[in-house]
Amino acid sequence: MARGRVKLLLDEHLSPTLVARCAERGVVAHSVVYLRLDDTDDHVIWRYAFEHDLVVVTTNARHFLRLLDVELHPGLIVLREGGLTRAEQWDRLARVLDHLERQPEPAASYMVNRVIDVLGPEEDLLVRQIPPGPGAP
């Protein structure tokens, strides 16, 4: 990815090996395991991501979506399937990275206040803005 690179924070349910896979694509990623934030409350992880301008990648949609009650956040990527292998996790995340590369604006800017849900191996990505932007119903 070029200018405006997105930076990711991988939640504890995702393999820390994805950090190296992201680096191969030119994406900076951190794992809560490597940061010793595993077994930490989600609000602490969310605060860390917010303070370091990191997009959280998680399988824990319910808890993190509740934390989106802020005016501005760096973004959230949710893998909606449980029990994914490392290869499947990478497949889903790589699809999101491909999506970000196709956007006309820098990835970091694009992700602001956005949630990308990865629903399955073949399904389209669900992209939502939370909170809704001006003029949204």
| Residue at 137 is within a domain | no
Helix and strand numbers (H, E) in the chain are 5, 6
pLDDT digits (tens, 9 = 90+) for 81-132: 989 999 999 999 999 999 999 999 999 999 999 999 999 888 889 999 987 6
**Residue 95 domain-assigned?**
yes
Q: Per the domain annotation, does 135 fall within a domain?
A: no
pLDDT confidence of residue 39 = 80
Instruction: Give the residue among 79, 80, 54, 67 at the shortest CA–CA distance from 130.
Output: 67
Which pTM value belongs to this model? 0.89
Banded model confidence at residue 63, pLDDT cuts 50, 70, 90: confident
Number of domains in the chain: 1
Q: Please provide the DSSP assignment of 25-55 as one string.
A: TT-EEEETTTTT-TTS-HHHHHHHHHHTT-E
Is the model's pLDDT at 135 over the cut of 60? no
Rounded-to-integer distance, Cα 33 and Cα 81, Å: 21
Structural domain contains residue 2? no
Q: What pLDDT sits at residue 8?
A: 97
pLDDT score of 1 more than 50: no
- The whole domain housing 88 covers 7-129
Does some domain include residue 91? yes
Residue 60 lies in a domain: yes
